[in-house]
Each structure stands twice: as structure tokens, then as C-alpha cells.
Amino acid sequence: MISRLKLMDFRCYGSFSWQIPQQGAIILGNNAQGKTSLLEAVCFLLRLQSPRTARPGPLAAHGKQAFGIRGELTGQARRILWTPDAPDLRVNGEPRKDQRSYLADSYPVVWMGNDDLSLVQAGADARRKYMDFLGSQWHPGYRLALFSYRRALKTRNYLLKHRHRDKLQLDAYTRQLALHGTELKSLRASLLTLLAPHITLAYRSIGGREEQVAVAYRASEEGDLYERLCAAVDRDIRYGQTQNGPHRDDLDITLNGRSAAQFASEGQQRTVAISMKLAQSSLLTEETGHTPIHLIDDVFGELDPTRRVAFLQSLPADAQSLITTTHLDWLHDTPCPLPSFRLEDSTLKPL
């Protein structure tokens, strides 16, 4: 768990410090006050990823080129000084040479946001991000396979777009892409096999019904990936990009055997999405031995009272949960489950 968070020139925060309660907290505030940015800072500190942007540049405060995040956690202190040239990553004062070594002993994280409905309703990209965020925390080889695949894909696409391409070089990167893509595909399939029963259990605990939810991995290509890429090379040249591979994979989500995107109600879809995130939590706890820190961004206002209570009860008792909200009306007569703070003018005050 994280006990203290310090920020420097991060988003709307010039300088910020917060002593975080052991069990977590509810952060109350109006829109555009920086509530989500606090959760985002914790996520970036622990995973070097933001759920809001693919690049770290926008995390710096307006007019700034660099930002800093420091966190004190159980048994370790983490510090990031991010600059355009090279980030300075440290754990317990010792520099880590790269992102991989920085993340090797970090804590797992589960992010739950108001846009999680996109896991069911939107295109495949949202579901691949879901798999990759979880997979990179689940298995040490997953992040490496994903990084290697993306690097080979970028280079191969560059070669496909240029008229005077070197065919031998194109084939070399096709082989690299197939190698890392096959590894990534295998890891994703194994991950979904482990994850599926966790999703089923989470859905039953929240939905309170005997509906059958299922999530299955759907690869864009079957068979030998290198052979499939070679067979499609003329088409890839026409399009100027690689048309098939793990970057086109998806998840099939069904409820009672029918597409959840097409046939489930919005309430059922929200329950599926929340179940998928709770499944991340229980799987990571089971696989890593650490209960993830839960970062929950403004989701309770979208749930009906029954699902809201069930969701709160489904959060692990030993998890540290940081929850943002614009109001506490959704509690109704339920006692506030966590210490509460009001955020205003970049300052947190206990309620």
C-alpha cells in the first residue's frame, strides 16, 4: 500500500503532498479539480502507465517540460523524475537502469473508471489495452513480448510504406514480428484461461443472478503467424501497414451465450465491465501474492443501489482503495466506507 504521495509539476499540481490512510480514501470534489490526476499519479508511479494518455509528456504541468512523483509504500520508496531526455527512476534511492527493472518489484494496480463500459461497447482496442495492462503485471515475459512485438511492428510498417524497401530487411522484421507475436498470443491465451473463472465469480457476486458471462480470446490469425504474414505481404504493401497479428486480436464477451455488446442491457454491460476489473484484482492477488491497489474513478454514480452495494462488498477487505466522486449522495443511508477528503484548489482537507 501507499502511505504518502508527493507531486511536482504533475498535471494541475505544482507542489502537492498527501499522507494516505492505510485503508484508502474517498476524494470528493467538483469536476476539473484534479481528482482523477491524483489516481493517475499513483498509477504512473507504480506502473509507468497512464489510463488517460499513451505518452508521458501531457502529464507535465502546463508550461513545464518535466514532472516528479514520489511515493512511500510498504518496504520501499519510489521516485520518478520524468524529463524529455531520459527519466530518472529510483527505488529506495537506488537508480533503476530502465523501465523493466523499475517495474520488476512494483505493486500491482487495478484501475476502474467511468469509461470502463467501453470494454463491452467499444472496439477491440479497449479490450486489448485491458489484456495488456493486466498481462504486464501478471507475467514478467508479457511486457517484454509486448514491447518487442510493438517495436517490430512499427519497423515493419515503416518498411511497408516505402517504395524502395529492402525485401530482405522486410523479411527479417516479418520473422521478428512472428516470433514475438506468437509468444504474445500464447501468453494472452494462457491469461484468459486463468481469468475467465474470476470474471464469472465476480459477475455473480454483483449481478446477483444466475446469468452466464463468458470471455474468450479471439486471435486475428490462426496457424503459423510467419506463414500468414508472408502470404499477406502484397496486401500489407498496398495498405502500408500490417493487417493481421496480435495487434488485431480481441475478446468475445457473451452473456447467456449472446453478444453482451448487442443484447445485454446497459446495467448488465456495466456489471460485466466491473466484473472484468474485479477479476483483474483477484487474479493478480492469486498470481503475485499482493493485493492490488484499487484506483476507482467516479464509477458509483452510474450504478443502481443494488449493484453499488454489491460492488463495495466485492472489493477485497485488505485492499487499499482510492475512490473519487463528485458527491456522496450514492451512499444514501450506508455509512461511508473510507476516510473522506474534499479536494479544492489542489488541496485536500479531511471531512
- Is 257 assigned to a binding site? no
Cell readout for 88 is 530518472
For residue 297, give the nearest of 109, 36, 24 by alpha carbon. 36
- Is 114 assigned to a binding site? no
**Can you give the three-state secondary structure of 3-20, one letter per residue?**
EEEEEEEECCEEEEEEEC
- Is 35 assigned to a binding site? yes
Q: Any residues with CB less than 8 A from the CB of 329 and at least 6 apart, and which?
A: none
Burial 28-64 (b: 16+ CB within 10 A, else e): bbeeebbbbbbbbbbbbbbbbbbbbeeebeebbbeee
Q: Any residues with CB less than 8 A from the CB of 295 and at least 6 apart, and which?
A: 39, 42, 43, 109, 110, 111, 112, 322
Specify the DSSP class assigned to residue 63. Answer: T
Cell readout for 23 is 485503508
- Is 31 assigned to a binding site? yes
The total of other beta-carbon atoms located within 10 Å of residue 144's CB is 15
- Is 30 assigned to a binding site? yes
Question: How many Cα atoms occupy the beta-carbon half-sphere of 141 within 13 Å?
Answer: 11
Long-range pairs, 218-225, Cβ under 8 A, ≥24:
218/249, 218/250, 218/251, 218/252, 219/185, 219/188, 219/189, 219/246, 219/249, 220/244, 220/245, 220/246, 220/248, 220/249, 220/250, 221/245, 221/248, 224/178, 225/177, 225/178, 225/181, 225/182, 225/185
- Is 65 assigned to a binding site? no
What CA–CA distance (Å, rounded) separates 264 from 273?
Answer: 12
Answer whether 300's CB lies under 8 Å from 275's CB: no
- Is 99 assigned to a binding site? no
What CA–CA distance (Å, rounded) separates 249 from 247?
Answer: 6
Angle between helices 124-138 and 35-47 (to 10 degrees): 50
- Binding site as annotated, residues for ATP: 29-36
Binding residues: 29-36
